[in-house]
């Protein structure tokens, strides 16, 4: 059977294209204009919150590629966040401050680790896949805590952000904000292109019926592994940005709880909707921020509220948007 038959077989389960594009345009337009509005208020605070939001949105977007489209529930995805951050921290501690070296190392190491972890994990399915990714994530977490030369449990403080041709251009919060914005936008466009290609259709087909995809002449494992590596590299970029944003690197970036947060962000926004991962990350982090300022017992409100949204809001926030649009 021809590849065209695979295209006909694989469908995108939700009627979301137009609504998703509208939401994406609104979200990125709001993020692009936020610094201009922030200059009339608490600019430093607003830029810091929104920069953090975009970094975790990028990490959630990378997870959505394998979770939302590939059906791969990884409980070790935050390990790539830590890998990207430690690429910056370790190189900086050895006197290498160039941004291109930091980014290239974060991408290369993330890709290598994702290739190894994916090649082993993807030989299993279901809960076994979850447990193996969790195990690898914890292994990397404990490896980071054992690096006494780089702060161990306490982490390490960076003397400055990555240098651009020897200059501290990223030291400006506004410049760094737009670097994070551009990274998120490019990652979103890349994921859309991947998902819309034949590669993406085969990936979704492998999630729905891997046996039939094999019968059509495709190797589901190869496509899933490629997606796993791309997702790891994108999350490594998020780690690179996070280290520069906080000017601090810590093993805490790699915990299984952080992986759980990324899964929650993705589910909250709407699995397999692309922009839903960004919306979910924004809702998760802003809600966390506002509730933590309102009461010291904010987790007692935050947890049940998120559970109610996921349980009763089928398809997450984007599912609600689509239901309203078609209702």
Question: How many whole angstroms separate alpha carbon 100 and alpha carbon 190?
Answer: 20
Return the pLDDT at 51: 96
| Residues 182-192 pLDDT 10s | 999 999 999 99
Domain limits for position 83: 16-326
Q: pLDDT grade, residue 18 (50/70/90)?
A: low
In a domain, 178, yes or no: yes
**Dihedral (Cα; 148, 152, 157, 158), 10-degree rounding:** 60
Residue 4 has a pLDDT of 45
CA 320 to CA 327: how far, in whole Å? 10
Between CA 220 and CA 225 the distance in angstroms is 9
Q: Which CATH number characterizes residue 294's domain?
A: 1.10.3470
pLDDT at res. 126:
86
Task: pLDDT band for 166, please (50, 70, 90 cuts).
Answer: confident
Helix (H, G, I), strand (E, B) or coil at 156: strand
Query: 155 — phi, psi (to 5°)?
Result: 75, -170
Residue 3 falls within a domain, yes or no? no
Q: Is the pTM of this model over 0.95?
A: no
Q: Number of folded domains in the chain? A: 1
- CA–CA gap between residue 299 and residue 45 (Å, rounded): 22
- Encode pLDDT of 45-73 as tens digits: 889 999 999 999 999 999 999 998 999 99
**Domain contains 165:** yes
Q: What is the mean pLDDT of the chain?
A: 88
């Amino acid at each position: 059977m021809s590849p065209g038959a695979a295209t006909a077989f694989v469908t995108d389960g939700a009627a979301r294209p137009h609504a998703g594009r509208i939401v994406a345009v609104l979200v990125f337009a709001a993020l692009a204009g936020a610094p201009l509005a922030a200059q009339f208020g608490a600019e430093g605070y607003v830029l810091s919150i929104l920069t953090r939001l975009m970094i975790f949105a990028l990490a959630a977007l990378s997870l959505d590629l394998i979770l939302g489209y590939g059906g791969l529930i990884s409980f070790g995805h935050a390990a790539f966040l830590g890998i990207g951050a430690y690429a910056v921290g370790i190189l900086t501690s050895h006197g290498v401050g160039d941004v291109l070296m930091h980014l290239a190392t974060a991408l290369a190491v993330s890709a290598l680790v994702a290739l190894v972890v994916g090649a082993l994990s993807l030989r299993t399915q279901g809960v076994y896949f979850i447990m193996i990714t969790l195990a690898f994530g914890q292994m990397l977490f404990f490896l980071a805590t054992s690096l006494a030369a780089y702060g161990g449990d306490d982490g390490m403080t960076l003397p400055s952000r990555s240098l651009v041709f020897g200059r501290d251009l990223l030291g400006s919060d506004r410049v760094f904000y737009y670097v994070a914005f551009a990274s998120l936008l490019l990652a979103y466009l890349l994921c859309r292109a991947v998902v819309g290609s034949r590669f993406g259709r085969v990936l979704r087909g492998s999630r729905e019926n891997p046996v039939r995809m094999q019968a059509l002449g495709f190797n589901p494992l190869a496509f899933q592994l490629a997606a796993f590596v791309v997702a790891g590299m994108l999350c490594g970029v998020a780690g690179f940005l996070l280290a520069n944003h906080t000017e601090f690197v810590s093993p805490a970036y790699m915990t299984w709880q952080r992986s759980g947060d990324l899964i929650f962000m993705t589910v909250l926004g709407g699995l397999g909707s692309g922009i839903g991962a960004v919306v979910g990350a924004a809702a998760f982090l802003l809600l966390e921020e506002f509730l933590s300022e309102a009461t010291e017992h904010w987790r007692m409100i935050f947890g049940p509220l998120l559970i109610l949204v996921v349980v009763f809001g089928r398809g997450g926030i984007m599912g609600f948007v689509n239901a309203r649009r078609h209702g």
